[in-house]
Amino acid sequence: MTKPVAEQTDLSRRTLVTAGLGLAAASSIAAAPGRATAARKTLPNGFWWGTATAAHQIEGNNTNSDFWLAENVKPTLFQEPSLDACDSYHRYGEDIALAAKLGFNAHRFGVEWARIEPEPGKFSAAALDHYQRVMEACHAKGLAPVITFSHWTVPRWFAAMGGFEHPDSPALFARFAERATAKLGPLMSAASTFNEANIARLIQARPESKLIGPAVRAMLAACAKASGSDRFASVLFADLAKSEANQVAAHEQAFQAIKAGPGNFPVGVTISMQDVQGVGEGHRATEIEDQIYGPWIAQAAKADFVGVQTYTRIRVDANGIMPPPKGAELTAAGYEFYPEALGATIRYAARKTGRPIYVTENGIGTDDDTRRIAYIDRAVASMRACIDDGIDVRGYLHWSLLDNYEWVFGYKQRFGLVAVDLKTFKRTPKPSALHLGAMARSSRRLGK
Ligand code: BGC
């Protein structure tokens, strides 16, 4: 008999949280040694301060995507469906104006493949026009559009043919990238092919991930059945043995397609990073790093930049990944509040790839906004220390502008600088929004 949904979602929640999917926050841990402001070097000219979002998590009614189906089949791992999300598909103008008013100069968001190519080879001019309007609105408000071509979601038809398990998948993803770039490239300031290309590796590195295996398989089987297919593959719950080589090829081909223009902007890939700390003799930190990053560090090393996305650390001893230390502050997402992971992962990414770095995500799931402010201060201090040491960091995009749809956890985990009423869609900036905005403004005004 199938397990009750509540039981499955509880399992998925625990597992995915510990797997680092929720990821990030300040505490009883002593502040890391900061640097005196006077000793700080100037931030690079045009340093980007802003926020990051994802199409599926804010737009609403992404009905043609694989996630929409997975959220609505039975059984499902999702605690609730995304439905209207933040209705940003219609309210993007308000969001962009708010981000600009807060003091930001860059805005990361996704162009949704499922909307742009609703049927294989059929492209929606209206969807492309929509994203053109969004990008134009960014420019009008002084925000650099930082684009994600795929933030985990794919069109339902693509998932039903096997997603990145299908040998045609690299060419299909590259074709989408080419069509979107043809229309939107001139308006892009930077772009990444995949969001957290290594996410399935990160989840699977956790021993607990085995626990959700049967529930994932049941959900995907229900999706396949609803699609009249014998398969349904998701980026998040990928079978890496079957899909990773194709996803790498998809990145490489899409990278070339985007670089071919029009437009002239850096193209990279973003990676979900953990500050992997070895503990004790014989610790397996290097092995775990190799396991969670796989081929993606080498891919980033060939791109124009690496997008660092960091929320916390993991400690690894001789037996593998350890639980958070006793007494450590945990975020609402269940992982350790450890803002200094940002600086550590920037150093790791710089060392391993030698590429310029944008922090494309960093944040904390919490209902206590004072902890968000503390997190931001310590994370940004750790980033600035990297810049002081000569590391080429070009922007900090906080996750996220809005409280949004946090995937399997639904709307109960809140990462936003701005609260959203899910009935009226009213946006209310939290003190942390003003705090980060003021930081952005003052760093620009003072040229530091
Ligand atoms: C993802 C976001 C997610 C955030 C917080 C990142 O791994 O890119 O989509 O909402 O973490 O969990």
**Closest atom of ligand 1 to CA, residue 407:** 10
Give me the numbers of helices (H) and strands (E) for the chain, helices first please: 16, 11
Centroid of ligand 1 to alpha carbon of 272 (angstroms): 9
**What is the C-alpha to C-alpha distance for residues 71 and 63, in angstroms, rounded to an integer?**
10
Instruction: Write down the pLDDT at residue 382.
Output: 98
Residues of the chain predicted below pLDDT 50: 1-38
Instruction: Write down the pLDDT at residue 210.
Output: 84
CA distances from 193 to 98, 187, 362, 382, 389 (A): 27, 16, 19, 27, 29
Instruction: Write down the pLDDT at residue 39.
Output: 57
Pairing relation of β-strands 320-321 and 305-317? antiparallel
**What is the C-alpha to C-alpha distance for residues 70 and 81, in angstroms, rounded to an integer?**
9
Instruction: Write down the pLDDT at residue 211.
Output: 87
H or E element at residue 109: strand 106-110
Which residues make Cβ contacts (< 8 Å) with residue 101, sequence separation at least 6? 437
**What is the C-alpha to C-alpha distance for residues 324 and 264, in angstroms, rounded to an integer?**
43
CA distances from 224 to 58, 164, 166 (A): 26, 15, 15
Instruction: Write down the pLDDT at residue 446.
Output: 64
> Atom 9 of ligand 1 has which residue's CA nearest to it?
54
Instruction: Write down the pLDDT at residue 42.
Output: 78
Mutation probe of ligand 1 site: the residue of 399, 401, 405 with most atoms within 8 A of C-beta: 399
**What is the C-alpha to C-alpha distance for residues 310 and 318, in angstroms, rounded to an integer?**
24
Judge whether 385 and 378 are in contact, CB under 8 Å: no
Q: Which residues pair with 315 in a beta bridge?
A: 277
Mutation probe of ligand 1 site: the residue of 196, 361, 408 with most atoms within 8 A of C-beta: 361
Judge whether 32 and 382 are in contact, CB under 8 Å: yes
Q: What are phi and psi of 316, to 5 degrees?
A: -130, 125
The tens digit of pLDDT for each residue in 280-303 reads 999 999 999 999 999 999 999 999
Instruction: Write down the pLDDT at residue 443.
Output: 86
Centroid of ligand 1 to alpha carbon of 147 (angstroms): 15
Mutation probe of ligand 1 site: the residue of 407, 413, 414 with most atoms within 8 A of C-beta: 407
Q: Which residues pair with 65 in a beta bridge?
A: 155
Q: What are phi and psi of 57, to 5 degrees?
A: -80, -20
Amino acid, res. 238: A
Listed residue (270, 398, 275) closest to 344, CA to CA: 275
Q: In this structure, what DSSP letter does residue 237 have?
A: T
Instruction: Write down the pLDDT at residue 208.
Output: 80
Centroid of ligand 1 to alpha carbon of 400 (angstroms): 9
Instruction: Write down the pLDDT at residue 246.
Output: 98
H or E element at residue 312: strand 305-317
Instruction: Write down the pLDDT at residue 133.
Output: 99
Q: What are phi and psi of 193, to 5 degrees?
A: -70, -65
Listed residue (275, 278, 273, 348) closest to 320, CA to CA: 278
Centroid of ligand 1 to alpha carbon of 152 (angstroms): 10
Judge whether 78 and 407 are in contact, CB under 8 Å: yes
**What is the C-alpha to C-alpha distance for residues 269 and 11, in angstroms, rounded to an integer?**
30
Over its C-alpha atoms, the chain yields an Rg (Å, rounded) of 20
**Closest atom of ligand 1 to CA, residue 22:** 12
What is this structure's pTM? Answer: 0.92
Cβ 296 under 6 angstroms from ligand 1: no
**What is the C-alpha to C-alpha distance for residues 60 and 64, in angstroms, rounded to an integer?**
11
Instruction: Write down the pLDDT at residue 33.
Output: 37
